[in-house]
A = this chain, B = another copy of it.
Amino acid sequence: MGRWEPNARGRLVQAAFALYGERGFEQTKVAEIAERAGLTERTFFRHFADKREVLFAGADALRELLVSTVAKAPVSLAPIDAAAAGLEAAGALIQEGQDLAQQRQAIITASAELQERELIKLASLASALAEALRQRGVNDPAASLTAEAGIAVFKVAFERWVDKPSQRDLPRLIRESLDELKAVTAGR
């Protein structure tokens, strides 16, 4: 792929997010996204299967970063801390695109269909995290529980962050939420 490819993709994402915010997700057509980005519909479909997938385009990269960070974490780390390292890396990646993350959240919150899709993506993130922990030799149910608890920590931290992304640090909120989970499970 040539150098223009990432630019086209980025322009399509920005155009789509802007239109979803202005008109609503349901009311926006692919042709309008392409036009706003100064590209053709054909180019849109070279990058995305449909208009919904524009909103979940980052999910694969996020999952890969999560899994590879867990895999590379020092063997001395306890499973929950290996999971936390992966989730903090994912949080840092999300934070790099904080304006898009905030726009995206507003679009998703406005649509029941998109909220469902978000839940599915989170569930598949939990499955990938559990599998990465099993690869480290963690047995079940510990692997599943650590992964599910890790995603819960991530979700709560993300919700606190996304309201005011420029004023808060997402990886730090993830670490704080994990500390809070440790406190609540210890019965405090």
Q: Which of A135-188 contact B (CB under 8 A)?
A: 141-142, 144-146, 148-149, 151-153, 155-156, 159-160, 177, 180-188
Closest to A176 in B: B141
Number of interface residues of A (CB under 8 A): 33
- A185 near B149 (CB under 8 angstroms)? yes
Contact of A80 among B81, B123, B160, B184 (CB under 8 A): B184
With A141-B156, A141-B160, A156-B141 given, is the CB distance from A184 to B120 under 8 Å? no
Contact of A182 among B156, B180, B185 (CB under 8 A): B185
| Complex alpha-carbon distance, A181 and B42, angstroms | 49
- A185 near B148 (CB under 8 angstroms)? no
- A156 near B152 (CB under 8 angstroms)? no
Note all chain B residues with C-beta closer than 8 A to A152. 145, 148-149, 151-152
| Complex alpha-carbon distance, A81 and B180, angstroms | 15
- B185 near A141 (CB under 8 angstroms)? no
Say yes or no for A78: interface residue by CB 8 A criterion: yes
Say yes or no for A1: interface residue by CB 8 A criterion: no
Say yes or no for A116: interface residue by CB 8 A criterion: yes
Closest to A187 in B: B78
